[in-house]
Amino acid sequence: MMRKVLIAPSILSADFSKLGQEIKDIEKAGADWIHIDVMDGHFVPNITVGPVVIKSIRPFTKLPFDVHLMIDKPEECVEAFVKAGSDIITFHIEAQENPGEIIKLIKYYKKKVGVSIRPKTELKAIEPILPMVDMVLIMTVEPGFAGQEFILDCLPKIEELRKIFNKDIEVDGGVNESTASDCLANGANIIVAGTSVFGTKDYASAIKRLKGGS
Ligand code: DX5
Ligand code: ZN
């Protein structure tokens, strides 16, 4: 089955002094989802945004908010992220001893649930919960910062996952035109991109190129 390719620009690389306008511009440029990186300075060595910022940008677009939680104890914050306007909530398996609980909680709020794995985490860590999630987010850099280089060793993991998982596979980290096409060829269908979209002057062409257009 051919899956529709979706592009989820990561606002981590946007200009935060005019975030509302950046979101409007990226929607106009053809973005499908807005990817929001939440970091707590514990799970990853960086601190970004939380529910307050998500709530303040919610009126600027109707596109789904794809919220990537790189935080410890994500289950304690699910309600706040739901109320702020999240549509898809992704937690890290490495931050969760009891993933069944947080999955139930996200579903209770009728939101889509994703699970993410770091580059060094093997697929077997998430295999038991695959039937319970809507999406797997495969990190292709160590989570924490935008602008890093794509780790090519992650490609076989995408291919392996596609053999056993027929829902959404999202890739995140160091994705540009060339690595996006590798990810799509290996079975991913959702592309997160920070630098390769917000780092350019023409967002629409950048999105088109990531989708495989010229
Ligand atoms: C990294 C974040 C990514 C990152 C993507 O921890 O999860 O979403 O900001 O940025 P680029 O595309 O520049 O690697
Ligand atoms: Zn992310």
Average pLDDT over residues 189-210: 98
String of b and e for 26-46 (b: at least 16 CB within 10 Å)? bbebbbbbbbbbbbbeebbee
* Closest to 136 (Cα-Cα) out of 170, 174, 107: 170
Cα torsion through 105, 146, 33, 92, rounded to 10: -20
pLDDT digits (tens, 9 = 90+) for 60-81: 999 999 999 999 999 999 999 9
Between CA 79 and CA 46 the distance in angstroms is 23
User: How buried is 86 (Cβ within 10 angstroms: 0-12 exposed, 13-18 middle, 19+ buried)?
Assistant: buried
Task: Give residue 1's pLDDT.
Answer: 61
193 pocket-lining for ligand 1 (C-beta < 6 Å)? yes
Query: Which residue do the tokens 């002057």 mark?
Result: 201
Query: Which residue do the tokens 């939380």 mark?
Result: 50
Ligand 1 centre from 142 Cα, in Å?
9
Ligand 1 centre from 171 Cα, in Å?
10
Instruction: Report the percentage of the chain scoring pLDDT > 90.
Output: 97
pLDDT digits (tens, 9 = 90+) for 128-170: 999 999 999 999 999 999 999 999 999 999 999 999 999 999 9
> Is the backbone of residue 38 left (phi > 0), alpha (psi -120 to 50) or beta?
beta
- CA angle 48-72-143, nearest 5°? 55
172 as an active site residue: the answer is yes
148 pocket-lining for ligand 1 (C-beta < 6 Å)? yes
46 pocket-lining for ligand 1 (C-beta < 6 Å)? no
Handedness of CA 14, 16, 17, 22 (dihedral sign): positive
Q: How confident is the model at residue 3 (pLDDT cuts 50, 70, 90)?
A: confident
Average pLDDT over residues 71-97: 97
61 pocket-lining for ligand 1 (C-beta < 6 Å)? no
What long-range pairs does 42-47 form, CB within 8 A, spacing at least 24? 42/71, 42/72, 43/70, 43/71, 43/72, 43/92, 43/94, 43/95, 43/143, 44/70, 44/143, 44/144, 45/144, 46/144, 46/145
Ligand located closest to 148 CA? 1
173 pocket-lining for ligand 1 (C-beta < 6 Å)? yes
Task: Give residue 213's pLDDT.
Answer: 78
Spot the catalytic one: 25, 37, 40, 66. 37
Full-model pTM:
0.98
User: Which of 13, 117, 209 best tests ligand 1's pocket when mutated (most atoms within 8 Å of CB)?
Assistant: 13
Ligand located closest to 67 CA? 2
Instruction: Give yes or no for residue 214 having a pLDDT over 70.
Output: no
- The closest-lying atom of ligand 1 relative to the alpha carbon of residue 10 is 8
141 pocket-lining for ligand 1 (C-beta < 6 Å)? yes
